[in-house]
Amino acid sequence: MDGCAFYDLVDAHSELEIAGIRDGTILVKHEPTKALYSVDPELVASEEWEAVEAVLCGTRGAIVLSHMTRIVGYYSQIENWNKSKLGELDARRRGNYFVPEAVGAGAVAAAG
């Protein structure tokens, strides 16, 4: 698949959009999950659209593409994140922003 065909297929897809170009890769955003993927044009050229689409929509593991997010204030690949940061990403995807009350916080305030 050539670059023009890739752009056309992403543009026609109801869940995907081109988010820009960075360092020679195409950034593609999956709207429902807000996931951002960095797509290498050379790898896409060697793959079938169905395989690339499955990766971009999350129905297949990111074999061809690398997953990126902006959770840390800038776009970053998540493959090398620790367990805690991956948990934070999962909580943000679900919209779970609950912070439990600190244990003993009342005792500290009363002592002061």
Residue pLDDT, tens place only, 17-53? 999 888 888 889 999 988 888 888 877 777 788 888 8
In the chain, how many domains are there?
Answer: 1
Domain contains 51 = yes
Greater pLDDT, 10 or 65: 10
Q: State the pLDDT at residue 47.
A: 79
Whether 54 maps to a domain, the answer reads yes
Structural domain boundaries enclosing 12: 3-94
**Mean pLDDT, the chain, whole residue set:** 75
How many CB atoms are closer than 10 A to CB 35? 19
Evaluate whether residue 46 is within a structural domain: yes
Q: What is the distance of C-alpha 96 from the center of its chain?
A: 17
The 10s digit of each residue's pLDDT in 69-85 is: 665 566 667 777 788 87
19 is a domain residue: yes
pLDDT digits (tens, 9 = 90+) for 6-26: 889 999 999 999 998 888 888
Beta-bridge mates of residue 30: 16, 35
In a domain, 109, yes or no: no
Q: Does residue 112 sit in helix, strand or coil? A: coil
Query: Does a structural domain hold residue 105?
Result: no
